Amino acid sequence: MTSLRLVATRHAAICVAFGLAAFSLAAFSLANPASAQQWAPTQPIRVIIPYAPGGTSDIIARTMSDHVSARLGQPLTIENRGGGATQIGTSAVAKAPADGHTLLLVANTFMINPSLFKTLPYDSLKDLTPITYAGVTPHTIVVTNDLPAKNLKELLDLARAKPGSISYGSVGIGTSFHLGTEELKKLSGTDMVHIPYKGMGQVLMDVIPGNIQMAFANTPNAAPLVNEGKLRAIAVAHPKRVAQLPDVPTVAEQGFPGFESNSGFIYFAPGGTPAVMLDRLNAVFVEVLNLPEVKAALTKQGVEVMATSRADTLDFIKKEMKRYAEVVAFSGAKAE
């Protein structure tokens, strides 16, 4: 009889415990609805691109758009807001509601601006939070065919022999193309003259006849001209050789281990966006970036997919901010 009472008592205690646990879980779910189910957007998602239409960021966003929409159940709208060295579009996202419905896709400029400008209309690390590093377009060092330099060493030897005799073009002061060349100058102890332009097309058209002698260029822009014999590619500023120019060695192979210069593209959300939303966005974007058809389409455009975690993306941003700060200080670059 005593044994039966003990069993009954234990049974009752277990039922009470399960009842309390169920009540607590229900209460937690009511208080935290996002935690009880996977977050999904409730309206179209705006992806703001702080550049004029037609660039690599547009290609990435539009290539991913339908696939992301199918997974999140809402359309993605691409909105170009160029100007202010990306500050106009970036500021719009920084000030948007932190509800997962307004995102930013921006390149290296995001990591450069804190060192280039005395003040910004947003705090780069507080007002925006990264979702994923989407992809990267490596830079290729090209020279005019008139220059008697067949590799990086010969180019740098020419620059050392006659300081200031070699000029290089970029798409503007403080851009990744400008600072990539300045970092090479810093590491090699050379003196080359910077000539800023408004677009990469203008830069390359002036390298061809020798009006300027060299440039760091986006590989997709440079490769066709190199393959046509109009320019000479002497190095790829990437950890590995690229498919568009497989015979061109990297900068690292030619004496500068770890050297990189590229145009990288990162998705951001407003600061304060809940982790459940950021995790969902990261999971979907990484899945889409790794789809064979998306990878193939982006590779064709010269974009190498990265698809990183939120934590890895943030670490990368902080390291790049530090690196660019050192190069900006060396170059003396000032915002225009």
For the segment 259-288, the average pLDDT, to the nearest whole number, is: 97
Question: What are the pLDDT digits (tens) for 29-85?
Answer: 444 444 435 899 999 999 999 999 999 999 999 999 999 999 999 999 999 999 999
| pLDDT, position 168 | 98
Cα gap 117→109, rounded to integer Å? 11
Q: How many CB atoms lie within 10 A of CB 25?
A: 11
**Tens of pLDDT, residues 219-267:** 999 999 999 999 999 999 999 999 999 999 999 999 999 999 999 999 9
Distance separating alpha carbons of residues 41 and 287, to the nearest angstrom = 17
- pLDDT value for 64: 98
Domain boundaries, the chain: 45-136+262-331, 138-254
What is the structure's pLDDT at 38?
Answer: 86
Please say if the pLDDT value at position 7 is more than 90: no
Answer whether 45's CB lies under 8 Å from 102's CB: yes
State mean pLDDT over 81-101. 97
Percent of the chain predicted with pLDDT > 70: 89
As a whole number of angstroms, the distance between CA 170 and CA 177 comes to: 6
> What H or E segment, with its residue span, contains residue 269?
strand 262-270
pLDDT at 325: 97
The predicted structure's pLDDT at residue 335: 86
Mean pLDDT of all residues in 265-292: 98
Mean pLDDT calculated for residue range 212-220: 97
Interior angle at CA 60, CA 58 and CA 65, nearest 5: 90
| 45-136+262-331 maps to CATH 3.40.190.150 | yes
Beta partners for 243?
none
Cα(239)–Cα(282) distance, integer angstroms: 25
Residue with token string 């696939």: 67
Q: By three-state DSSP, how is residue 71 classified?
A: helix
Phi and psi of 138, rounded to 5°? Answer: -65, 150
User: Closest Cα to residue 180, out of 246, 98, 262?
Assistant: 262
**Is the pTM for the entire model greater than 0.75?**
yes
Instruction: Using the structure block, give the residue that is written with the tokens 């290729």.
Output: 140
Tokens standing for residue 53: 């239409």
3-state DSSP helix/strand/coil % of the chain, to nearest 5: 45, 20, 35
- Residue 109's nearest CA partner among 163, 159, 170 is 170
pLDDT surpassing 70 at residue 19: no
Question: What's the pLDDT tens digit per position in 159-175?
Answer: 999 999 999 999 999 99
Angle CA(116)–CA(122)–CA(120) in degrees, nearest 5?
A: 30
CB 218 within 8 A of CB 230: no
Query: Residue 203: is its pLDDT beyond 80?
Result: yes
- pLDDT, position 334: 87
* 138-254 shares the fold of 45-136+262-331: yes
- Of residues 310 and 22, more confidence is placed in 310
Highest CATH level, class, for 138-254 = alpha beta
Angle among Cα 321, 50, 133 to the nearest 5 degrees reads 50
d(CA 142, CA 152): 10
